[in-house]
Amino acid sequence: MNPGRWLAAALLLLGGALAEAAEAPRPARCPTGAPTGLVCLRGQDANGAHILLARPANWHGGLVTQVFGGPRLAPIRADTTDEDLLRFAEYVAEGWAWTSTSRRRPGFGIRAAGEDALNARRIAEASFGTPRLAVIHGQSWGGGIAARAIETLNAPDATGRRPWQAALLTSGVLAGPTRAYDMRVDLRAAFQAICGTHPRPEEPQYTLTLGLPRGVRMGWTEMMARYTACTGSDLAQATRSTAQRRALADLVAASRIPAWSIPTHLAWSTNVFADIAWGLMDGRSAFGNAHVRYQGTSDDAAFNARVPRIAADPDAVARLAEDGDPTGAIAIPVLTLHGIEDATVFVEHAAAYRATLEAAGTAHLLQQVFVDEEAHNKMSPPLYPAALAALADWAQGGPRPSAEAVRQRCEAARARHPGTCRIRPGYVPQAWTARVNPR
């Protein structure tokens, strides 16, 4: 169907079919830089989340529900997910229709974010018609949202059809929020033990895993000023003081986070911890380090004696687990794609997820693919359409694709999407506790 005729048909469908939409999607501009031949629509769901829909001229009937990471703390906007369509433009270039949601609110909340993704999926079907195959793609923290959504929001309808028939989880936060941020807890505790400036002695004191006092936000510049003053990371190695070099080495040892990525993790454990504590947990902490034994610092005995010890609130832990911890109760094929050297979301998240599915008896529905890359937000472009195509074939009755089969598809996709295909068939990540301090 040509775009003009399709658009006319779509507008007729919109007349009464969008129960989940407060503002029915209307034809709108596509994000600047998107592939040519797209028809885009924009609207809002009943919760105020902004919806972006895109249909390529070569649509083959497949639909991707895109779930972005973060969590992003900036206010939601009509163009919140434009960057995601541009980042994963390979999907629409390969003939997949697209739906994404800004979500109803910024910040944390995995179950609510999953509900918003389901609303976007339903609005897409009302706009485009029933897709031949519907896949949910979760990236980074969005991987954790998608993993929970396919457990709790993917029940079959009266015809036996589920909202999503497959899930692609890339660079995913898959250990579950009750343990996924343990390294960041260790970083905050270590930073206070070593640097003593977050908070400073003259500032209001608070439990570190609350992130910040209620209502306070800390900008990147302020946080980095505290970090660089302590570690000298903004200075050439030779000009750092002995104390600064020791501070950075001890932060790395205690947190097990590479030095170059500590600032990002420190920022996350500041403002996002605050969003979780004050936005979802009524000021209680779901994280702790009460029994962690830190090793590898310049003086382990002294460090363990002075590091702040925090006990997690049991009710907050239970609430966070219910919101986002995967249980393995899945009924559709899942493919994970992860960079082995990802320092933002460690590859051991994939090992934790496999262990969850093995315990639930659903690991036969899982295939994991690992790549020799350190990128997190976007690895090599041909990897994504290759993984999606392999997953789609599996979901439609084909065999479970091997990592080598995905690599071969990636090599074929390079003609259309230049990049590398450094997939490592046979790679197995370490267990979660091999990378993160055991609790």
- SS3 sequence of the chain: CCHHHHHHHHHHHCCCCCCCEEEEEEEECCCCCCCCCEEEEEEEECCCCEEEEEEECCCCCEEEEEECCCCCCCCCCCCCCHHHHHHCHHHHHCCCEEEEECCCCCCCCHHHHHHHHHHHHHHHHHHHCCCCEEEEEEECHHHHHHHHHHHHCCCCCCCCCCCCCEEEEECCCCCCHHHHCHHHHHHHHHHHHHCCCCCCCCCCCCCHHHCCCCCCCCCHHHHHHHHHHHHCCCCCHHHCCHHHHHHHHHHHHHHCCCHHHHHHHHHHHHHHHHHHHHHCCCCCCCCCCCCCCCCCCCCHHHHHHHCCCCCCCHHHHHHHHHHHCCCCCCCCCEEEEEECCCCCCCCHHHHHHHHHHHHHCCHHHEEEEEECCCCCCCCCCCHHHHHHHHHHHHHCCCCCCCHHHHHHHHHHHCCCCCCCCCECCCCCCCCHHHHCCCC
Token reading at 397: 């009755």
* Mean pLDDT (whole number) for 68-92: 96
Assign 281 a pLDDT band (cuts: 50, 70, 90).
Answer: very high
Q: Per the confidence metrics, is the pTM higher than 0.75?
A: yes
Q: How far is CA 119 from the centre of its chain?
A: 19
Mean pLDDT of 300-304: 98
Q: What is the mean pLDDT of residues 240-263?
A: 97
Question: What is the sign of the dihedral through the CA atoms of 337, 340, 344 and 346?
Answer: positive
Question: What is the per-residue pLDDT across 93-128, written as a single tens digit (0 to 9) for each?
Answer: 999 999 999 999 999 999 999 999 999 999 999 999
Confidence of residue 22 (pLDDT cuts 50, 70, 90): confident
Question: What's the pLDDT at 20?
Answer: 61
Check residue 5 and give its pLDDT. Answer: 39
- According to the model, what pLDDT value does residue 3 have? 41
Q: What is the pLDDT of residue 372?
A: 98
| Bridge partners, 136 (sequence order) | 65, 167
Among all chains, which residue has been given the structure tokens 């002294």?
A: 302
Position 15 confidence tier, pLDDT thresholds 50, 70, 90 = very low
For residues 224 and 237, the answer to whether their CB atoms sit within 8 Å is: no
Structure tokens at 329: 């109760």
Lowest mean pLDDT among 23-27, 40-44, 89-93: 23-27
pLDDT in tens, 164-177: 999 999 999 999 99
Q: What residues form DSSP beta bridges with 167?
A: 136, 334
pLDDT at 2 over 60: no
Instruction: Give domain 3-118+166-177+326-366+376-404+413-420's CATH number out of 3.30.1150, 3.40.50, 2.40.160, 3.30.9.
Output: 3.40.50
Does residue 21 surpass a pLDDT of 60? yes
Q: What is the pLDDT of residue 227?
A: 98
pLDDT band at 24 (very low <50, low <70, confident <90, very high): confident
What was the pLDDT predicted at 273? 97
pLDDT on residue 10? 41
What pLDDT was estimated at residue 153?
98
Residue 18 has pLDDT above 90, yes or no: no
Stretch 41-45: mean pLDDT: 97
Q: Which residue has the tokens 């918003």?
A: 116
144-152 average pLDDT score: 98
Furthest-apart CA atoms within the chain: distance in Å: 73
CA 213 and chain centroid, separation: 26
Q: Where are the domains of the chain?
A: 3-118+166-177+326-366+376-404+413-420, 179-321
What is the predicted pLDDT for the residue at 290?
96
Are the C-beta atoms of residues 270 and 212 closer than 8 Å to each other? yes
